[in-house]
Each structure stands twice: as C-alpha cells, then as structure tokens.
Amino acid sequence: MSQAEKRAGIMVLPSELQNQIAAGEVVERPASVLKELAENSLDAGADRVDAAIESGGQGLISVQDNGMGLSPEELPQALTRHATSKIRSVQDLMGLNSFGFRGEALPSIASVSRLRITSTPARGGEGSSLEVEFGAVSEPRPAAVREGTLVEVRDLFLNTPARLKFLKKQSTEAKKCQDVLQRLALVNRHCSFRLRSNRREVLDFERNQTLLQRLETLWPKQITASLLSVHREEKSASIHGYVGHPDTGQGRADRILFFVNKRPVQDKLLLSALKQAYSGRLLSREYPQAVLFLELPPSEVDVNVHPAKSEVRFREEKAVYSLLVNAVQNTLAQGDAQGAELKDRIPGTRHGDGNGDAERRKAGPGRLKLNEENKEPDTVFRESGEMYRQPDTSQGPPDTAISPRIPDSDSGASLGPDLAYLGQFRATYLILRSGDKLLFVDQHAAHERVLYTRYLKGAEAQQTQRLALPLRLRLHPSERTVLDGAVRNLREIGFAIHREDEENISVQGIPQYLDRSAAGEFLRDVLRQGGGGLEDMWCLMACRNSVKAGETLALSEAVELLRSWLECPERQHCPHGRPVSAQLGPKDLERMFKRGK
C-alpha cells in the first residue's frame, strides 16, 4: 500500500477505538481506575466509599458508594464518551470544583475491562445495572442495590496485553491502590473510606475525622506526635496542613503529600519550596514529612495539564513558591520554641530509636562534656520523670515521683556543704536540697547561663570548623540587608560566609561549637531577628547548644551542669532574663499543709 492510499481513508475512529486510546491516558493501572471510581463517588455526594480489590486490582476493582445514584436512563449515558453531568460550558471549566469533568473515565475503563455498574437513584426510582464487555455495552437491566452506586471492574487490560505487561507485581499495584485512596481520604474527611485487598481490610477511615486523626492511622506515632501545623494566607491564596519536626527527618520522600484545591498533585516546584524551607535543618539526604493543602483561585492554576498524572501548572509560580517557603519556615521557627514542650509530653520522641541520624546529630558538639569518672551505673537513673533514688531509700512504690524518704543530710549527690542533687523531674527540672530548702533548677536556663558566661569570657576562643560540603542558604530580600549588618559579628564568632550572588550565600565554615544543622538554624535565627550585637549572638548560640527541656540527664551530666552553674555570676537568670531557679522552704511547705502555728 502506498502512502497516498493509506492517507485516502481519513475517518472518525470507531468509538470503541477512541475509548481505548483515551484509556491509554486515563487508565494506566488499577490504582488509576480506583481513583476515577472513588472520585466519581465523591462527585456524587457520597459520604461512604467502600472499595475492594483482588489480585492487585487485575482480578477485581470495586467501589460502592451512597451517593446520588443514576436512573436506568442515565446509566447508558454515563458510559458514553464525553458525556458528563458536571460541566455545560467552557466557563464551567474555569470554576470547576468536581473531580471529573471530561466524561471519559467510565467509557475508557469499560473499553479495557468487564465493567458492571449498578445504581439506585437517591431521588427515588428503579435500581438498574449495565454491563460492558471490553467496550460492548449491554441493555440496562433491573437490579437491586440498597443505595448509591456500585461499580465493579474485572479483568482489567485482558484485551490489551501490551498494557498488562507494564503492570508491576500484584503487591505493588495493591500498594498503589492503597496510596490513591489514602490521599483521597486525607482531603475528603467528611467521608468514610474502606479498602479491602484480597478480602483483608487495609484501610478504614471513619466519617468526620480530623486530618491529624487520619494521619495517625497512616504514620508512626513518633512522627505524628511531633507534627507542626502550618497555616498562612496571602491575598487570594492560602496554605495549611502539617509538616514534620526536623528531628524526624527520614531517608525517603514518601511522606510528602501536596494538594492543590483539594486535588492530590505531584509537583517539583512545591517539592523544591519545601526543601528550601527546611534548608539548614535537615541533612542533605533527609526528607521531611508534609501534608500541605494549597488553595488558589481556580483561574490561578491549570489542572487540565494531563488527564490522570496529577500535574498542575501555576500562573504565578514565584508567588506559590514563596507562600510555601514562608509558611513552612514560620512554622519551623515556632516549632523550635514549642519543640521542647512537645517532647516533654511525648516520651520516645527524643529517645526513641526511630531515627539514627537525628540521634547522632543531637550527640554533636553542643552537648555537655562529661566527666567520665562521675558516671553512675545506668540503673540508678532511668526514664524521664523518675527521680534519682539512693539504693537504701528505693523501697517506695515504683510510680512515685519522689522517693519516700529524703533524709535531711547525706542523700543525693553532694555538690558542696549542705547542698545535694536529688534528681531530675519531668526531664526538665533538677531538684536540689539546699540546707532546709528544696531548690528547683530549670536545666535549659541553667545551661544557657553556663554557656553564655563561658562564651563571653572568651575562655573558649571560637575557632572555625571547615565544612567539607558548604551549607547554602538563599536569602529573602529582607534578610540581605540584615546579613550585611551582621556579617562582621558572625565572622567573629566563627562563621566563614561567602556571598555567591544577590540571593545566595555559601557557608564554608561554622563555629566550633555548633554542628552543621544547628549552624544553619542559628544563621536563620540571626537573620530573622534582624542581626543583633555580639552578645545577642552568644546568647543565641548558648540557647542552641543547651540541653533542652525533655532531655533526660545522667546523674553525672546533671551534677556537672549544676557545678558549672553554681560558679556563674548572675546565675539567678538565664541570658534572656528568665529565672533559672525557684525554691520551697519549710515555711512554704507548712503553709501548703496548713501546719501554721
């Protein structure tokens, strides 16, 4: 056949073939079928979506909902290409808030599978069902389904062996199905979702849960417990959701979920904004967790880039980028302050074995230096919140916070004449007996005072540690002038900073007493605070390097900290001016117990 002969027969493709071609775009794998069906259920107003798959979706994909349903007359239309109940005009397309609108999904799926749709209209009327065998539509038949719509898809791709070959292992396809439904469940929280895979229940979300409740069923406790909430509005755009604490950074980017106007999207721009927001807080190979919802006017975002690939295009890329960066950085900055409190509430976040890198980071140069000789056997001093007990006074009930008998003298670790360390309370306060008084010392504030004093004295001359891999930071326009003003002091305390261009700096050396990630955070803080004098910087560095509330201290660590603190001038206040210690004397106790004479 010549070229000319081939060209001669231009014609509209038979609808079966049209559908199969469309299916190539819309229906990539079982998970895309499940996504289309569940989105149709949501579009139909359902608040119950029960899905099931068998053999990774190749055997069966079914979705049952309690939505508005379809009448016997509507069923054949639902399976006609470009038939949709969701838009009527190009204007509708611009202001779209349903998932579907192309009217392509059902006919496409039906062209590459055996599909049966059974439905009862909620407004009353007959239930009916319709079958399509690889594109060949049968007549609707009366059928009974209690409510809503049930769509069953069997033998997917059996008539297109080329596509069948591209499917992964059944377990992998099943996992993808689960991912798809999870993402839908995170946005549509009014709706219950269930998924069974080979009759085993793999997902079960109840109706009307919060985002956090849904995340708690998906992610480990040590991650959800320290999530930080994000919220920011700018002009017509907003962003909200949660991001992970930098301490829970992980090796894979599999807990990063973006949604734009409630649609799950995969987007490089958003991902790089997220990375930017965490720069200096995570190691280079670490990823944070994030579930972020962006809301933009529909005219600002094109969701029509690809029928199924969850790609979007933003009109104002720069604005979207900086909205995300600012929102997340703000949250992280607040998280620095909150973090201490949080960890106090959640045992295991700091001492858990979940994240080796984070643990190692914390053991960095910021920690107290230990005097090894002081080290007590570990059994003496255990979990946060438990008091240090002398062996001879430890017969009390195991859950009491304070040992039953604290003799007036010779108990605890001696710190001097008539001064003894009794133990740590709530992994935050160190309790001492000073003569006839009980003294409470805030471990973080005390450590800040110690380090600040040391830095000011210059006893530990600052040296620069060279970074093998420079730390790169991008500066916000407002930060550029701050940097100009602060750079002299930053160099004085040990930073080696080079300006790469207008926006970027590269940090090639950091103070000896900060580790890489702490140094990045430190710089960010300085820039955010608007620079400051040398003393402010020492103060900030003292804060960064101090033990935090929530850190369990070994006996030897506590004793060494207290000894150093006792030698400090102005030890009653931390460098920020917060009190370091408080006390209870016999009079206070008498008053408490109404023993007044």
- Binding residues for Mg ion, rule CB under 5 A, total 3
Stretch that binds ligand ADP, among 102-110, 401-409, 509-517, 557-565 (CB under 6 A): 102-110
* Beta strands at 148-154 and 114-120: parallel, antiparallel or unpaired: antiparallel
- Phi-psi category of 55—alpha, beta or left, where left has phi over 0 and alpha has psi -120 to 50? left
Stretch that binds ligand ADP, among 101-109, 406-414, 455-463, 544-552 (CB under 6 A): 101-109
Asked if 40 interacts with Mg ion (CB under 5 A), we say yes
Phi, psi of 256 (to 5 degrees): -120, 115
Q: Which residue in 20, 30, 35, 36 binds ligand ADP (CB under 6 A)?
A: 36
Q: Which residue in 27, 105, 445, 555 binds ligand ADP (CB under 6 A)?
A: 105
d(CA 52, CA 45): 20
Kindly state the DSSP code that residue 393 receives in the 8-state scheme: G
d(CA 517, CA 197): 42
Residue listed under structure tokens 């040992």: 403
Q: Is 257 exposed, middle or buried (0-12, 13-18, 19+ CB in 10 A)?
A: buried
Asked if 126 interacts with ligand ADP (CB under 6 A), we say no
Asked if 476 interacts with ligand ADP (CB under 6 A), we say no
Tokens in use for 416? 């001097």
Q: Are 38 and 101 in contact (CB under 8 A)?
A: no
Asked if 149 interacts with ligand ADP (CB under 6 A), we say yes
Q: Are 72 and 126 in contact (CB under 8 A)?
A: yes
In the bound state with ligand ADP, the residue whose beta carbon lies nearer, of 37 and 427, is: 37
* Smallest separation, CB 147 to ligand ADP (Å): 11
In the bound state with ligand ADP, the residue whose beta carbon lies nearer, of 152 and 247, is: 152
* Smallest separation, CB 76 to ligand ADP (Å): 10
Cβ atoms within 10 Å, residue 114: 18
Stretch that binds Mg ion, among 97-105, 269-277, 321-329, 548-556 (CB under 5 A): 97-105
Q: Which residue in 105, 227, 324, 559 binds Mg ion (CB under 5 A)?
A: 105
In the bound state with Mg ion, the residue whose beta carbon lies nearer, of 103 and 520, is: 103
* Smallest separation, CB 106 to Mg ion (Å): 7
* Smallest separation, CB 366 to Mg ion (Å): 54
Locate the DSSP E strands across 14-140. 48-54, 60-65, 114-120, 128-133, 136-137
Stretch that binds ligand ADP, among 33-41, 443-451, 473-481, 550-558 (CB under 6 A): 33-41
Output the DSSP codes for 243-300. E--GGG-BSSSTTEEEEETTEEE--HHHHHHHHHHHTTTS-TT-B--EEEEEE--GGG
Which residue has the CB atom at the shortest distance from ligand ADP?
100
Where do the H-state alpha helices sit in 279-425?
317-345, 356-362
* Smallest separation, CB 304 to Mg ion (Å): 14
Asked if 103 interacts with Mg ion (CB under 5 A), we say no
d(CA 346, CA 362): 17
Stretch that binds Mg ion, among 65-73, 93-101, 120-128, 524-532 (CB under 5 A): 93-101
Q: Which residue in 56, 69, 100, 335 binds Mg ion (CB under 5 A)?
A: 100
* Smallest separation, CB 120 to ligand ADP (Å): 10
- Phi-psi category of 241—alpha, beta or left, where left has phi over 0 and alpha has psi -120 to 50? left
Q: Are 444 and 433 in contact (CB under 8 A)?
A: no
Asked if 100 interacts with ligand ADP (CB under 6 A), we say yes
Q: Which residue in 23, 31, 44, 422 binds ligand ADP (CB under 6 A)?
A: 44
d(CA 104, CA 80): 8
- Binding residues for ligand ADP, rule CB under 6 A, total 22
Q: Which residue in 16, 48, 86, 311 binds ligand ADP (CB under 6 A)?
A: 86
d(CA 41, CA 189): 14
Asked if 440 interacts with ligand ADP (CB under 6 A), we say no
Stretch that binds Mg ion, among 3-11, 100-108, 313-321, 564-572 (CB under 5 A): 100-108
From residue 46 to residue 85, the character string flagging contacts with ligand ADP as x (rule: CB under 6 A) and all else as - is -------------------x-xxxx-------x-----xx
Kindly report the three-state secondary structure assignment for every residue of 493-513.
Answer: CCCEEEECCCCEEEEEEEECC
Q: Which does 149 bind (CB under 5 to 8 A by kind): Mg ion, ligand ADP, none?
A: ligand ADP
Tokens in use for 504? 């970027």
Q: Which residue in 48, 59, 76, 101 binds ligand ADP (CB under 6 A)?
A: 101
Asked if 102 interacts with ligand ADP (CB under 6 A), we say yes
* Smallest separation, CB 34 to ligand ADP (Å): 13
In the bound state with ligand ADP, the residue whose beta carbon lies nearer, of 79 and 539, is: 79
Tokens in use for 243? 């991001």
From residue 289 to residue 328, the character string flagging contacts with ligand ADP as x (rule: CB under 6 A) and all else as - is ----------------------------------------
Q: State the amino acid at position 35 in one-letter form.
A: K
Asked if 106 interacts with ligand ADP (CB under 6 A), we say yes
d(CA 24, CA 34): 15
* Smallest separation, CB 73 to Mg ion (Å): 19
- Reported as half-sphere exposure (CB side, CA atoms, 13 A), residue 146 has a value of 3
d(CA 533, CA 539): 10
Stretch that binds Mg ion, among 33-41, 304-312, 354-362, 575-583 (CB under 5 A): 33-41
* Footprint on this chain of Mg ion (rule: CB under 5 A): 40, 100, 105
Q: Which residues make up the interface to ligand ADP (CB under 6 A)?
A: 36, 40-41, 43-44, 65, 67-70, 78, 84-86, 100-106, 149
